[in-house]
Amino acid sequence: MSTEELRVRVGETEYLEVDPQHVASSRFGDFYSHPDFPDRFDANQLCRVRCGRDQVPTMLEELDALYRPTGLDYRKVSGYDAEVWGHLRAHLHELGWATWTTRLLLHRAAPTLEANPDVKVVAVSADSADLESFYRTESGLDRGFELARSQAARMGGEYLVAYLSGEPAGCTGWFSRKGVARFRHVLTAQAFRGRGVATTLIRHVQQHPDVVACDALAIMVGEDGPGVLYERLGFRDVMEFWEAKHPPG
């Protein structure tokens, strides 16, 4: 399968992790609004946006109409089409929106980094206390994690915790859709960074039989993320996802 075919497949399944019963179609994309997570931009947004340059004002009007029944006072749009982003970004900036992009990489080459044999990777349940420890904030459990976990049974795959010296040192996970395996967040505890924890987790997923059987393995990296690490683990850029929200905070 060509890289371009995989680009389309990955892009079109970008939001398959969302709960289908909370998705409404519109002519400019799919509007996802999960009533249990009104505080999350990612749980209330217009996904996979497509519109022509002259349609941007109309799209924003329809976005307002989609949000109005929710009572929410913020707006978010996202997508992966580079041409749409080319004319949408400047317009949104003029209107005071915050915008950012996330790189999507596919596993395409042999890794040049080895796992740390002292790191033990264990599959855990989605409500594991050790897993939750990576998502604790001053105000409680991270809501983004709670949103992802609410979909865990439907999405399948695994959550993984890495242990070093008997302590939870890092976590990740994976799931697959339409033949593409995808990583969940890759996190390393501050005290264990630089000791091969993330590398070991990633190599573990790369070698999982169910992942090997997929057509591709995808990982996302933010603008300030560890892109060099992922490249040394055999991942290569294939596309960008873009997001915008208003108000920016």
**Which three-class secondary structure state does DSSP give residue 33?**
strand
Distance spanning both ends of the chain, measured CA to CA: 40
pTM for this structure? 0.92
Q: Are 133 and 170 in contact (CB under 8 A)?
A: no
Whole-angstrom CA distances from 174 to 123, 149, 158, 215, 234 are 11, 12, 5, 14, 17
Bridge-based pairing state of the strands 140-141 and 120-124: unpaired
Domain with CATH 3.40.630.30 in the chain: 110-233
Tell me, what's the pLDDT at 14? 65
Q: Are 76 and 243 in contact (CB under 8 A)?
A: yes
Tell me, what's the pLDDT at 15? 60
Measure the CA dihedral 130/136/140/141, to 10°: -60
Q: pLDDT (tens digit, 0 to 9) for every residue of the chain, 249 residues total?
A: 677 787 778 877 766 556 788 999 899 999 999 999 999 999 999 999 999 999 999 999 999 999 999 999 999 999 999 999 999 999 999 999 999 999 999 999 999 999 999 999 999 999 999 999 999 999 899 999 999 998 888 889 999 999 999 999 999 999 998 899 999 999 999 999 999 999 999 999 999 999 999 999 999 998 888 889 999 999 999 889 999 999 987
Using alpha carbons, select from 84, 171, 74, 183 the residue that is nearest to residue 126.
171
> What length does the chain have?
249
Which residue type does 72 have? L
Which sign, positive or negative, has the C-alpha torsion 190, 194, 198, 204? negative
Bridge-based pairing state of the strands 98-107 and 216-221: antiparallel
Token pair in block for residue 119: 């790191």
Q: Which parts of the chain are beta strand (E)?
A: 23-26, 29-33, 44-47, 75-79, 98-107, 120-124, 136-137, 140-141, 158-164, 167-177, 180-183, 187-188, 216-221, 235-246
Tell me, what's the pLDDT at 132? 97
Could you tell me what percentage of the chain is helix, strand and coil, using 3-state DSSP and rounding each to the nearest 5? 35, 30, 35
Tell me, what's the pLDDT at 226? 87
Topology at the third CATH level for domain 110-233 = Aminopeptidase (3.40.630)
**Average pLDDT of the chain to the nearest whole number:** 92
Summarize pLDDT for 135-186 with one digit per residue, the tens. 999 989 999 999 999 888 888 999 999 999 999 999 999 999 889 999 999 9
CA–CA distance, 222 with 204 (Å, rounded to integer): 22
